[in-house]
Amino acid sequence: MSLARRIIPCLDTDGARVVKGVHFEGMRDAGDPAELAARYNAEGADELIVLDIAAARDNRPTFLETIRRVAEQLAIPLTAGGGIQTLEAARAVVRAGADKITVNTAAVERPELLGELSAEFGAQAVVLAIDAKREAGDWQVRIRGGRQATLLNAREWAQRGVQLGAGEILLTSVDRDGTQSGFDTELTAAISKALSVPVIASGGAKVPAHFLEVFTSGAADAALAASIFHDKLQSIRALKEFLKGKGVEVRLPC
């Protein structure tokens, strides 16, 4: 008995539709969230993340109807986020069907939010998303969809986030996001080995070898990808069979 490494497709939405872009820019349509959710649920995804990447920009609440439609399709855990700034907003997202909530910019601006969410839903339901960018041999936290720099060091912020109540870290490499040049395994290992909670690696996935690398030298507990799954460049089952063949423990769908 041991814990399987997780493969997590991510649906970046503008509220209603799945969108994709490089370096958080140049968005284009990639499908209906509920249809994609049903596909990934059937293909053996271990979890699904739905992000409303336009909520904060458009200064409107997280799109609950999309979360409801996606949750309806799933028999696997759902993490939702994008624009959650308050406990009340998080409650609505959980009631719409999310098992976990993820926060990013709002936690940087008001770190107590993590403690409020953790006290209400438990640490296992609080995912701190960190967008990290290489700066002078270390990694700096960026907010607002990667566009705005902060003075926070990524590892220190992750550690503080865990102390405040986060039960998991969703770690995106801003440098690799959308490039399909592989995960930043150095970043992932640096953060994952410094933490007592699971880390989801994100940004840069293309081929199965990238996942193998991030699970071995990157010490990731889970790995996230979006467009390679949306565009059917990579099937989840084939990816898991590859990983299993390399000795990585994964849950193969029935």
Partner 1 sequence: MNVTLIDYGAGNVPSVQRALRRLGAQVESTNLPEKMASAHCLVLPGVGHCAALIAALDAHSLRQPLIEAIGRGVAFLGICLGLQALYESSEEAPNLPGLGLLPGRVTRLPEHVKLPHMGWNTLKTVRSTRLLDSVPSDAYFYFAHSFAAPAAGPESAAVSEHGREFIAVLEKDNICAVQFHPEKSGPAGAQVLGNFLRAAA
222 binds partner 1 (CB under 8 A): yes
List of E strands, 83-167:
100-103, 126-135, 138-143, 148-153
**Measured from the CB of residue 18, what is the shortest distance to partner 1 in angstroms?**
22
107 binds partner 1 (CB under 8 A): no
What angle, rounded to 10 degrees, do the helices at 112-121 and 87-95 form?
Answer: 40
Tell me how far apart the alpha carbons of residues 174 and 141 are, in angstroms, rounded to a whole number.
9
Residues 128-157 that bind partner 1 (CB under 8 A): none
Whether 17 and 35 have beta carbons less than 8 Å apart is answered as no
Stretch that binds partner 1, among 15-23, 113-121, 136-144, 228-236 (CB under 8 A): 113-121
Active site residue: 52, 131, 184, 221, which one? 131
Q: Which of 18, 49, 80, 94 binds partner 1 (CB under 8 A)?
A: 94
226 binds partner 1 (CB under 8 A): no
Tell me how far apart the alpha carbons of residues 156 and 241 are, in angstroms, rounded to a whole number.
36
Q: Which of 76, 207, 228, 248 binds partner 1 (CB under 8 A)?
A: 76
| 175 carries an active-site annotation | no
- Beta-bridge mates of residue 10: 49
Q: How many C-alpha atoms does 57 have within 13 Å on its Cβ side?
A: 15
168 binds partner 1 (CB under 8 A): yes
| 221 carries an active-site annotation | no
Tell me how far apart the alpha carbons of residues 7 and 111 are, in angstroms, rounded to a whole number.
28
Give the active site residues: 12, 131
* Site residues, partner 1 (CB under 8 A): 1-6, 41, 44, 46, 71-72, 74-77, 94-95, 97, 99, 119-125, 167-168, 195-198, 221-222, 251, 253-254
